[in-house]
A and B are shown apart, each in its own frame.
Chain A
Amino acid sequence: MTPPPLIHCQALAKRFDTTGPAVLGPLSLTVAPGEFVSILGPSGCGKSTLLRLVSGLLAPSEGTLRVADRPPGELDDLAYVFQDATLLPWLRVAANVETLLRLRRVSTAERTRRRDAALGLVRLTEKARAYPRQLSGGQRMRVSLARALALEPRVLLLDEPFGALDEMTRDHLGEELLAIHARQAWTALFVTHSVAEAVFLSTRILVLAPHPGRIAHDLAVDLPYPRNHETRRAPDYLRLVADVSARLRAVEPAEDFAA
């Protein structure tokens, strides 16, 4: 028997202007627990909007959306990793990791335990007392990830979290993220612009088409685990990257290439 879906949307649509066209949807999507779903698509296809809807930051205009069989925004174990690290500059790394737990009034002992565990997962235990400005861009992103993981989430939403980093750092963080995913059971929705990153990380890739945002392709990625730097040279991996790239190119609006 297949497990019940963790994220379930039916004819979900979002319009920012009540009379205007929908920026996203209507689309239907079901995500099972433990899946790592990447969302690819040209700019303006509503990738981030979809993530914000699932997070509860935005309310849907039409359709239904349930996360763990509840309306989004009611879930305590849903975490969001933003495009920027969005660390609070006046707090040390340790306190930054605890921020969301503090908001939820988690007890001090429990906070400390989860904070130390999360910092261990992103291998930044020795930076606990540093301030964000003393860290590199990659380290800041790892702290941001630790802050999300400290919630011990069931659903992890990642909005281009490695977009601003250089390729090496990006690859390393991707591998770390997979290693953490192997140890923890969260379900990921991962928005990215990088086909290679999507293929490397995911069990499943959604390619969105714009105007309005809708799912053009829903592809399973059946590369074996554990995935590491070897994976990036495997023929199957390269074939998938080429295939997804071609599909992505096909949904890009032509005018983007006119110039």
Chain B
Amino acid sequence: MSSRLLRRLPPFVLAALFLAGWQALHHSLPPGRRFLFPSLPQLGEAFQVHGPALLGAAGHTALASLGGFALAALVAAGASLLLASSTLVRQALYPYLMGLQMVPVIIVAPILILWVGPGAPSVIIVTFLITFFPLVVNTTQGLLSVEQAHLDLFRMGRAARWQELLLLRAPAALPYFFTGLRIAAILAPIGALTADYLVGSTSGGRSGLGITALLFSARNEIPGLYATAVVGCALGFVLVSAVSGLAWLALHRWHDSYSAEQIER
């Protein structure tokens, strides 16, 4: 076997071990309690039975998490530029930003339902609230973490403030921005799912994974719940992979985190 193939093998071996372990765990439980941890065939059956419903719900949750995520990224980019522009602005606004993150979603939920009603807009707002903070904190940090020598260069070049911000600080902040995006990408589907649970639309065909889980739970359909969890995870993986791809596109040519030695290791 070629060494290259050998190097690709470990993840697959691990996946096989994981599935075998799952199955073993199911069988290790006393028969009366096995329903709490469905076997792989039971899970497969759940996917077969609820597949279309799960897929539809996943679509709604995916759209909502993407919407909240994109909105947060956009607003965070703008807010960071503002925050990086002066210490005064930063000191004045920071408590409010923290507040935004600290507001418990469970309390915001009923208020949101009163304001905008249950459904996608509410879910997007909650997802935005959850993903905004790591984005704005990371990006602002990036905008402020510019080498003194580069600042001197721009001052020598008699750069205007906006030139310094857009031509120096913004590109230097890109790696930080993508770190924020990665964290937000993990939080967004969880946020959207939770939001759907709390403020999602319950009318037929428009609910997301949160409402789906709620229904499975009410009907005691344990394999269905597990299947929902798996779909939720998959959503997160897709979003994180997409962000990693974007980060690669933006950074691999110049940033040290993508240098040849890093890849060799």
A-side residues, CB < 8 A to B, are: 55-57, 73, 79-80, 82-84, 86, 88-91, 99-100, 102-104, 131-133
Tell me if B22 counts as interface (CB < 8 A to partner A).
no
Contacts of A57 in B (CB 8 A): 152, 155-156
CB distance from B147 to the nearest CB of A (A): 7
Label chain B's interface by main secondary structure.
helix
Interface-side segment among B200-208, B225-233, B253-261: B253-261
Known contacts A86-B147, A88-B168; A80/B156 CB under 8 A: yes
Closest to B154 in A: A103
Within 8 Å of chain A (Cβ to Cβ): is B157? yes
B153 interfacial contact with A, CB 8 Å: yes
Known interface pairs A102-B167, A133-B254, A133-B256; A90-B155 also in contact (CB < 8 Å): no
Which of B153, B156, B163 has the largest number of chain A CB atoms within 10 A?
A: B156
For the complex, give the distance between the alpha carbons of A223 and B255 in Å. Answer: 45
Do A104 and B157 touch across chains, with their CB atoms under 8 A apart? Answer: yes
The verdict on B149 contacting chain A, using a C-beta distance below 8 Å, is: yes
Q: Which residues of A contact B147 (CB under 8 A)?
A: 86
Q: Is the CB of B156 within 8 A of A133?
A: no
Could you say which of B154, B158, B163 has the most chain A C-beta atoms within 10 Å of its C-beta? Answer: B158
Name the residue among B150, B153, B171 with the largest chain A CB count within 10 angstroms.
B153
Tell me which of B167, B168, B254 has the highest count of chain A C-beta atoms within 10 A of its own C-beta: B254
Question: Once the chains bind, are B254 and A132 in contact (CB under 8 Å)?
Answer: yes
A90 B171 Cβ-Cβ under 8 A:
yes
B174 within 8 A of A: yes
- Cα A176 to Cα B34 with chains together (Å): 79
Cβ–Cβ < 8 Å partners of A90 in chain B: 171-172, 174, 254-255
In whole angstroms, what is the CA distance A86 to B155 when docked? Answer: 13
Counted as pairs of residues, one from A and one from B, with CB atoms less than 8 Å apart, the total is: 53
A73 to B155, CA, bound (A): 10
CA distance A80 to B157 in the complex (A): 9
A102 to B147, CA, bound (A): 20
Write the B189-228 contact mask toward A (1 if CB under 8 angstroms, else 0): 0000000000000000000000000000000000000000
User: A-contacting residues of B (Cβ < 8 Å)?
Assistant: 147, 149-150, 152-159, 163, 167-168, 171-172, 174, 253-256, 259
Query: Which chain B positions have C-beta within 8 A of A133?
Result: 254, 256, 259
- B159 with A103: CB separation less than 8 A: yes
The answer for the CA separation of A90 and B249 in the assembled complex, in Å, is 12
The minimal Cβ–Cβ distance linking A246 to chain B, given in whole angstroms, is 34
Which residue of the partner chain, among B153, B253, B256, contacts A86 with CB atoms under 8 Å? Answer: B153
Give the residue of A89, A103, A131 whose beta carbon is less than 8 angstroms from that of B157. A103
CA distance in complex: A85, B163 (Å): 20
**CA A91 to CA B168, docked complex, whole Å:** 11
Cβ-neighbour of B152 out of A82, A99, A104, A131 (below 8 A): A82
Task: Check if A88 sits within 8 Å of B256, measured CB to CB.
Answer: no
The residue on B at minimum CB distance from A78 is B156
Say whether B163 contacts A103, CB under 8 Å.
Answer: yes
User: A184 vs B147: C-alpha distance in the bound complex, in angstroms?
Assistant: 31
Taking a contact as CB atoms under 8 Å apart, the answer to whether B174 and A55 are in contact is: no
With contacts A89-B255, A131-B254, A133-B254 taken as known, whether A103 is within 8 angstroms of B149 at the C-beta atoms is no
